[in-house]
């Protein structure tokens, strides 16, 4: 197993950071690695906004549900799906931008964001930095849009906290490969695998919380997914120019 694979396999989310600012050259490498990710039609439908200002980070922490590690760490990167540049290209060539009338544009932009963020995570961790993704930038998306002056066709998909870990968290167990990887077709017989994984996660949570919680995987996802937890996403993304048909 080479060092690149070891870095990926050793991933863990960090929620306790030192205040030390990361090096400019390290941040540059992380952004360039994100840019190097594959992109649909080479459209590069992703933009990254770095936030280092303490006041802005503190506000983002509040908007995302008081995630204090955003305020604590030195750098917060917002990853946004972006068809604003495509709009400028359309205007330059005298054609209409029709793709944003379709859900396909949201899928394309979100995939581009995911690919870019995956590269950024790998690069950051290879440099000895800690990270934690922040999906809750979609909790109050228009507040993020206003704060960072995002133009039409640019929408916040996910954030990434980056900094030097104060304490390394434990490695969270994943599903066994058999639950995720299927050959020639989807294997629907997953009940026993979920049961076993619930037991494993319950034990992990007991250790992590020192006995305060034994919440299983299925209990967690059931509780969270019983509601539309970010209801402002749909009207907000339409407000940014995506018709979502």
> pLDDT digit string (tens) for 20-68?
999 999 999 999 999 999 999 999 999 999 999 999 999 999 999 999 9
Q: Do residues 43 and 86 lie in contact, with contact meaning Cβ atoms separated by under 8 Å? A: yes
How many separate domains does the chain show? 1
Domain for residue 105, yes or no? Answer: yes
pLDDT band of residue 224 (cuts 50, 70, 90) is very high
Domain of 67: which CATH number?
A: 3.40.109.10
Domain for residue 221, yes or no? Answer: no
Alpha carbon distance 33, 24 (integer Å): 14
Domain for residue 64, yes or no? Answer: yes
Domain for residue 72, yes or no? Answer: yes
Domain for residue 91, yes or no? Answer: yes
Domain for residue 210, yes or no? Answer: no
Q: Average pLDDT, stretch 200-215?
A: 93
Domain for residue 232, yes or no? Answer: no
pTM above the 0.85 mark? yes
Residue 89 confidence (pLDDT) above 90: yes
Domain for residue 30, yes or no? Answer: yes
State which residues form the domain around 107: 3-170
Q: Which of 103, 39, 134 is nearest to 237 (CA)?
A: 103
């Amino acid at each position: 197993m080479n060092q690149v694979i070891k870095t990926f396999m050793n991933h863990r989310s960090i929620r306790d950071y030192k205040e030390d600012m990361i090096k400019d050259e390290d941040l540059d490498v992380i952004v360039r690695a994100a840019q190097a990710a594959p992109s649909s039609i080479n459209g590069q439908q992703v933009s990254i906004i770095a936030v280092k200002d303490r006041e802005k980070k503190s506000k983002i922490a509040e908007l995302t549900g008081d995630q204090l590690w955003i305020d604590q760490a030195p750098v917060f990167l917002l990853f946004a799906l972006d068809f604003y540049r495509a709009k400028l290209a359309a205007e330059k060539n005298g054609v209409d931008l029709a793709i944003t009338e379709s859900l396909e544009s949201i899928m394309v932009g979100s995939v581009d964001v995911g690919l870019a963020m995956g590269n950024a995570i790998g690069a950051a961790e290879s440099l000895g930095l800690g990270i934690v993704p922040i999906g809750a930038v979609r909790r109050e998306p228009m507040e993020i849009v206003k704060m960072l002056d995002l133009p039409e066709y640019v929408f916040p998909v996910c954030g990434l906290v980056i900094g030097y870990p104060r304490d390394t968290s434990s490695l969270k167990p994943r599903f066994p490969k058999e639950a995720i990887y299927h050959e020639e077709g989807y294997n629907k017989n997953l009940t026993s695998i979920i049961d076993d994984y619930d037991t494993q996660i319950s034990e992990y949570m007991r250790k992590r919380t020192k006995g305060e919680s034994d919440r299983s995987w299925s209990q967690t996802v059931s509780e969270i997914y019983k509601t539309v937890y970010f209801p402002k996403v749909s009207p907000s993304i339409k407000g940014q120019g995506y018709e979502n048909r």
